[in-house]
Amino acid sequence: MNVGVIGLGLIGGSTALKIKEIDTNTVIYGLDNDMDSMSYSLSKGIIDKKLDINSIDNLKYIFIAIPVDAIKNEIESILNKISNNTLVVDLGSTKYEICKKVVDHTNRKNFLAAHPIAGTEFSGPSAATKNLFDNKVLILCETEKTDQDLLSDALKIFDLMNMNIINMDSIEHDKHIAYVSHLSHISSFMLGKTVMNKEEDQDTIYDMAGSGFESTVRLAKSSPETWASIFVENKNNIVESLNEYISNINNFKILIENGDKEKLSAEMKKINGIKEILNGIK
Amino acid sequence: MNVGVIGLGLIGGSTALKIKEIDTNTVIYGLDNDMDSMSYSLSKGIIDKKLDINSIDNLKYIFIAIPVDAIKNEIESILNKISNNTLVVDLGSTKYEICKKVVDHTNRKNFLAAHPIAGTEFSGPSAATKNLFDNKVLILCETEKTDQDLLSDALKIFDLMNMNIINMDSIEHDKHIAYVSHLSHISSFMLGKTVMNKEEDQDTIYDMAGSGFESTVRLAKSSPETWASIFVENKNNIVESLNEYISNINNFKILIENGDKEKLSAEMKKINGIKEILNGIK
C-alpha cells in the first residue's frame, strides 16, 4: 500500500518505520518543511519517496505529525485532495480544535483524530524508532464520525503496531491531557529555567544535582515548536491546571514558612498515593 | 573496625552494606526508632548488632542518617559520648544548621558534615543497596574544622565507596541544594497533588499519562518524614527558590494566555540548554 507521512519528526518518523516493518511492500511518501529532516529521512530509509502534497489521492493512509496549530491550518486542504479510500490520521497532542475544524467537511468520514501517548524528550527524525509505540496507549476521538470500514482497517494497523486503543470525547481528551501531560512539561521547563537563572556561570553547581533533578527536568529538553503550539491550542485547560498548580505550591510554601512539619508530612503522605496510581501506567 | 549507623533507611542501610563490603571484618552496630526497620536490618544482615546509644566510645565511625531536624537535636548528645578516635559523620541533606549547632562543641574535631548526592524515591532499609553511592558526589562542608587525621582516614573510606568528593561552605551548600534538589522535590509533589485532585475517582485517566508524567512525578513518592524535615530546616533558601519558580510559571502562563507562540518557543529554546548541562551530571 501507499502511505503518506507529513511531518518527519519523532512521531512521524517512528510511524513510518513501524508501518514499513509491518508491511515491507508499503511505499512511504514523506514530507517535511525542514530540508535536513527530508534528506535525513530519505537517506536513512525512514521514507521511500518525497510526498507531493498535490498528488495524494493514491494514498491509503496519510499520517499527520506536525505541530498541532499547523494540523489545524492544513487539515481542510489535505482532506480536499484525497480519494474516497484514503484515511487521514492526525497524531497531534490536542484534539478538540482539530475535530471542530473538520466537523462539517465533506470528507469528515475520511478523517481520524488520534493521539499516541508515546513521546520522548527527543525530537527530529534521528530520534525516530520503530518501537516507540510498543504497548503504548493510542487515544481515538469521535470515531463514530469516521467511515467504519476505514476505521476497521486502521484498527488492524494499530493492533499490529502493538498499541492499546482508548476511545474518548475530544473535549475530555484535551481537559485530562492538560493535567497528565501538558502540565508536567511546563513544570519541568520552569524548573529548568529557575535553576539555570540561579546558577548562571556556576556550572560546577550541577555536580550537586542528582538523578532526582535529572528526572524532574527531563521534559525541559522537549521541542519548543511542538510544545509552544500545544500550549496555545490547549490554552484554557492548561491555564486552569497551572492556576491549580500555583495555588497548591503557594499553600505548601505557607506550611514551610510556618515550619509545620506535621502538616507537610501529612500532605506528602497523601500524595505518596501516586505510587499505586503510577504502577498502573502502561 | 566497629562502625555505628544511626537511622536504617535508604542512606543508612546502604552505608552499612557498603562499609561491610569494603571491610568484611567490620562489625556494624545499627539503630533505628522503627522496630520493623531494626528487625529487618538485623535479619537481612544489613547490621550485625543493635547499637546502644550509651555505649558508643568503642566505635571508629558513627554515620547518622536520620531526618535533618533529628540530627540537629541529637548531635550534641552523641558527640558528648564518643572517644577521641571516633569520627561522627552526618549524612543529612542540609548542612548549615547542623554545622552551626556543633561549632563550639569540645569534640567539633570529631565531626564531619557530609551530604551524599545519592537518594532515590524509595525509602526504608528494604531500599538499601550497597551500590547506591557508586560514582556519586559526596559534598563535605567545613572540613578544616575536622581533625585532619580522622578526615584523612574517612577520605580513604569514601574513596573505597567510589564517591567523588566536593568541598563546600555549608551556607553555599544549603543555598544551591535548594535549587538543584529540594525545589525539584516540591515541584514533583505539587504536580502529583494537582493531578490527583483533578482526577479523583477517575483512575483510568492515568492511562493517558506517558513516561513523561511518570518521570516528572517520580520524586512525589519520596519519604514524607525525610522531606518535611529538610523543607523546614532549609526554609529560607527553599522559599526563595519557590518564589522564583512561581514567578517564572506566572510569566509563562501570561505568554500562553496571549497565545504568544514565538516568545514561548524562544523561552523554551533557551531552557533546552539544560541538555548540555545535564550531560555533565554524574
Confidence of residue A201 (pLDDT cuts 50, 70, 90): low
B130 is written with which cell numbers? Answer: 550497597
Confidence of residue A182 (pLDDT cuts 50, 70, 90): very high
What does the pLDDT read at residue B107? 98
Q: Does B103 touch chain A (CB under 8 A)?
A: no
Among B10, B170, B172, B211, which would you mutate to test the A interface (most chain A Cβ atoms within 10 Å of its Cβ)? Answer: B211
A213 is written with which cell numbers? Answer: 533533578
Confidence of residue B204 (pLDDT cuts 50, 70, 90): low
Confidence of residue A194 (pLDDT cuts 50, 70, 90): very high
- The per-residue pLDDT for range A9-57, each reduced to its tens digit, is 999 999 999 999 999 999 999 999 999 999 999 999 999 999 999 999 9
**Packing angle of the helix pair B235-257, B224-233 (nearest 10 deg):** 100
Q: Are the beta carbons of A271 and B192 separated by less than 8 Å?
A: yes
What does the pLDDT read at residue A199? 79
Which residues on chain B are in Cβ contact (under 8 Å) with A277?
A: 196, 203, 206
* End-to-end alpha carbon distance in chain A: 31
Confidence of residue A276 (pLDDT cuts 50, 70, 90): confident
Let me know: does A195 contact B221? Beta carbons within 8 Å.
Answer: no
> What's the gap in Å between the CA of A52 and the closest CA on chain B?
28
Most distant pair of Cα atoms in chain A: their distance: 68
Q: Taking 60 as the threshold, does the pLDDT of residue B282 lie above it? A: no
- The per-residue pLDDT for range B60-111, each reduced to its tens digit, is 999 999 999 999 999 999 999 999 999 999 999 999 999 999 999 999 999 9
Contacts of B42 (CB under 8 A, 6+ apart): B30, B49, B50
* Residue A40, H or E segment: helix A35-43
Share of chain B above pLDDT 70, in %: 98
Q: Are the beta carbons of A209 and B248 separated by less than 8 Å?
A: no
* Residue B151, H or E segment: helix B148-160
Closest listed residue to residue B71, CA positions, set B49, B52, B94? B94
Q: Taking 80 as the threshold, does the pLDDT of residue A266 lie above it? A: yes
The mean pLDDT value for B17-24 works out to 96
Output the CA torsion sign for A25, A26, A31, A32. Answer: negative
Q: Measure the CA–CA gap between B90 and B111, rounded to whole angstroms.
A: 8
Let me know: does A184 contact B217? Beta carbons within 8 Å.
Answer: yes
> What's the gap in Å between the CA of A12 and the closest CA on chain B?
18
Q: Which residue of A has its CA nearest to B199?
A: A176
DSSP B30: E
What does the pLDDT read at residue B276? 84
Q: Does A205 touch chain B (CB under 8 A)?
A: yes
The mean pLDDT value for A62-67 works out to 97
Q: Are the beta carbons of B250 and A246 separated by less than 8 Å?
A: yes
* Residue A22, H or E segment: helix A10-22
Which residues on chain A are in Cβ contact (under 8 Å) with B179?
A: 194-195, 198-199, 205
Which residues on chain A are in Cβ contact (under 8 Å) with B192?
A: 271, 274
Domains in chain B with CATH codes: 2-168 (3.40.50.720), 173-279 (1.10.3660.10)
Confidence of residue A282 (pLDDT cuts 50, 70, 90): very low
Q: Taking 60 as the threshold, does the pLDDT of residue B41 lie above it? A: yes
Which residues on chain A are in Cβ contact (under 8 Å) with B177?
A: 208
Q: Does B35 touch chain A (CB under 8 A)?
A: no
The mean pLDDT value for B163-183 works out to 95
Q: What is the interface pTM, i.e. ipTM, of the complex?
A: 0.91
Q: Are the beta carbons of A268 and B244 separated by less than 8 Å?
A: no
Contacts of A192 (CB under 8 A, 6+ apart): A217, A220, B271, B274
The mean pLDDT value for B168-183 works out to 95
Three-state DSSP class for B115? Answer: strand
Confidence of residue A271 (pLDDT cuts 50, 70, 90): very high
Sole residue written with cell 468520514: A109
Q: Taking 70 as the threshold, does the pLDDT of residue B202 lie above it? A: no
B220 is written with which cell numbers? Answer: 512525589
Sole residue written with cell 526504608: B124
The mean pLDDT value for B120-147 works out to 94
Q: Taking 90 as the threshold, does the pLDDT of residue B130 lie above it? A: yes
Question: Which residue from B117, B202, B213 is facing A210, i.e. has the nearest CB?
Answer: B117
Q: Which residue of A has its CA nearest to B175?
A: A198
What does the pLDDT read at residue A155? 98
User: Which residues, in sequence order, are bridge partners of residue B138?
Assistant: B116, B165
Which residues on chain B are in Cβ contact (under 8 Å) with A227?
A: 264, 268
DSSP A117: S
- Please give the distance of CA B42 from its chain centroid, rounded to a whole number: 23
